[in-house]
Structure 1
Amino acid sequence: MGEEYNLSEAYSSFFYSKDIADTWNMCVDREFLEEHNIDSESYGAKNMVKFFVVRNLLSTVTTAGSYSEKIIREFYCNLTENLRDPRYAIHGKVYMRGQIFQFSPAIINGFLGTHFVEDAELPSLDVMTSVLTGRLVTSFPAHPHKLAAAKLTSFYSVLHKTTVKTRIPFGNSIVVTNHQAPVLYAIGTGVAFNYGRLVFDTVMTFEDFAQPTLKLPYPSLIYSMLKSQGIEKDDDETLTEAGELLKISLALLRGNRKIDLPWSESSVAAGVVTDVSNTSLAPEIFVPPSNTKNLDTAFIQAQLLHSERKITQAKAHLAYYEGLKAHYKTLLYAVSSSVQKWGDDDGGKGK
């Protein structure tokens, strides 16, 4: 349904149609939700770096970088409703600067190496509330329809604050809404969770500019993805840096909340209270070997294991393969850098 983008018919190099160009005034001054990376020392002390490795989500909390504000505003301005509809030829495609760029849940997962799965069925909101609070609260509040973050266990408090400040833009670290609770539960317990779908759906809520005061999410992630596909900034465009490193606040480890940090692998099973029927969708757990030189190596191994599994299981997803190509380049660079670093640290031994 619908026609493919025809570059020769584009209204300008920046906008495919005049209608899109006319919306630029609603984008030009939009601000951004700042993305942060976690401090490996602070999070490592509570075993939370290993948690993100096991959940295959380390790339979502350690890869935020600089971005061009103008390019990100252009990206959001060029979003169209048909981008999300697979019936249309322009599904999963965005026109920018005279080129076509891929943007879909599969592309996002491929770029980050996150799980390409369907979201599993979750238990009731009350059951999830009980897990998130360590049974301190056994039903989700009806009025207001929000759970105070101070009721969360220390583990879920840190997870909530981290997701707000990295790449799951909840926007408010004081309360947990009925939309946020399932995300925290899925990440924390390890049930099947499609991160790429979450990012894509969040981005697409900005397609119609219905809430012009909201800050634009994922600027660093989107810019990195566009760069991997060949976009180039103009010489006069400056880059905005990612926010300062996140550290675990001692305030999240105190109070009347249940203290369940440092995180341990046993909590994978102990924290799950669910009636999920299709357990085949649950992600495979990767446990780093005890003699791993550092967590960067464990991360690379986890990503490689995940990518190899998905290559064999998702041959029909051409878009996913294109995303993996960009991800492999990132991994290759990381491996090369690590090998060089180890060689320098060992004084050239083994050469």
Structure 2
Amino acid sequence: MEWIEEVGLLKTVTGITRCYDKLVKEFIVNVTTSCNVSGSPDFRKVFVRGKCVNFSPSVINTFLGRSLAEIVDEEISLSAITTELTADQVKEWPVKGLLSSAHLSVKYAILNRIGAANWAPTKHTSNVSSGLAKLIYLIGTKAKFDFGAYVFDQTVKHAETLAVKLPIGFPYLISEIILSQQPQIVTADEFPNKKASALTVDHRLLDGTHVPDVAGLAEITQGEDTISSCTLRKKHVDCLIMELTKGKNTDEDNAVAGDQAVGGATSDDDSAASS
């Protein structure tokens, strides 16, 4: 969470809870290529249900309270992203266009889970798209990037492609931006989607096939497991020694008692003989 908070995206994970699925789909359908053409009447505007919604990188950043100071806009190659996400285990982005999440290091595996739940909703978390890979790369490296421009570009892509099943990114954020400008746009029979429950991360993630880039946490976890197992074994050994010692002492006591009994009988016999 510290990475997400430092890059100013904590609100996208914990502060945005409403999403009207039908409204967002209508919004996406009405995004045109001229939305990104300077001088066009539709420049940075999307018309949905007869109402105008201002939509631009600055609108998105302002809504999230993000500062544009010290923004570093640099082109990052997919090879560099792949190398960072996999801790140098994979050097080139896969030809098929999707990176297997099994190759991700622990940090990016967790960021991918968060991204799949909040930024680019999908139930298929076994693979990572290039768009989400770039985003978690920017977050994981704590880069100073223009998040508003990223969201805007991802949204405009819907108008520039003929793909029918292109996943809608940032539906909760888009829904809240629309409602912040047009609060009466929702119809009486519409209800927001139920926000997914809080994510949990299985501790086995640190012991799996992911590269343990969170070395400190992994070492602490492994160290605690080692200490616990050693302590348990020591208890078993101590109990065994106690049982063995107890048994040995009992045998020795029995032997001493037998000797005393034999010795007592011999003395009586000797006394009788003397008499």
> Which TM-score band applies after superposition, normalised by the shorter structure?
0.5 to 0.7
Task: State the SS of the aligned residue for 2:5.
Answer: helix
Q: What's the counterpart of residue 154 of structure 1?
A: 106
Aligned length: 215
Q: CA deviation at 1:218?
A: 2.8
Q: Pick from 13, 16, 27: which aligns with 1:64? A: 16
Residues 122, 255 of structure 1: alpha-carbon distance in 2 compared, 3 angstrom cutoff: farther
Q: Which runs of 5+ in 2 are unaligned?
A: 218-275
Residues 129, 111 of structure 1: alpha-carbon distance in 2 compared, 3 angstrom cutoff: same
Q: Pick from 74, 91, 114: which aligns with 1:121? A: 74
Larger displacement relative to structure 2 (101-110 or 242-251)? 242-251
Q: Which runs of 5+ in 1 are unaligned?
A: 1-48, 265-351
Matches of 1:87 and 1:263, distance apart in 2: 53
Question: Which amino acid is 1:256 matched to?
Answer: T
Matches of 2:8 and 2:156, distance apart in 1: 24
Give the TM-score normalised by the residue count of structure 2.
Answer: 0.67
Q: Does structure 2 retain, via aligned residues, the 8 Å contact 1:154–1:257?
A: yes
Tell whether 2:31 aligns with 1:79: yes
Question: Which amino acid is 1:89 matched to?
Answer: P
Matches of 1:100 and 1:148, distance apart in 2: 40
Q: Deviations over 1:142-179 (max 9, x none)?
A: 54454322121111111122112211457742233444
Identity %: 27
Q: Does structure 1 retain, via aligned residues, the 8 Å contact 2:7–2:143?
A: no
Q: Deviations over 1:174-231 (max 9, x none)?
A: 2334444333222111223221112112222222672223443333222211111133
Matches of 1:53 and 1:67, distance apart in 2: 22
Give the TM-score normalised by the residue count of structure 1.
Answer: 0.54
Q: CA deviation at 1:98?
A: 3.5
Tell whether 2:191 aligns with 1:238: yes
- The Cα RMSD (Å) is 2.8
Q: Deviations over 1:277-308 (max 9, x none)?
A: xxxxxxxxxxxxxxxxxxxxxxxxxxxxxxxx
Larger displacement relative to structure 2 (98-107 or 162-171)? 162-171
Q: Does structure 1 retain, via aligned residues, the 8 Å contact 2:35–2:44?
A: yes
Question: Which amino acid is 1:132 matched to?
Answer: L
Task: State the SS of the aligned residue for 2:52.
Answer: strand
Q: What's the counterpart of residue 133 of structure 1?
A: 86
Tell whether 2:4 aligns with 1:52: yes
Q: What's the counterpart of residue 165 of structure 2?
A: 213
Residues 209, 129 of structure 1: alpha-carbon distance in 2 compared, 3 angstrom cutoff: closer
Matches of 1:257 and 1:73, distance apart in 2: 36
Matches of 1:61 and 1:105, distance apart in 2: 19
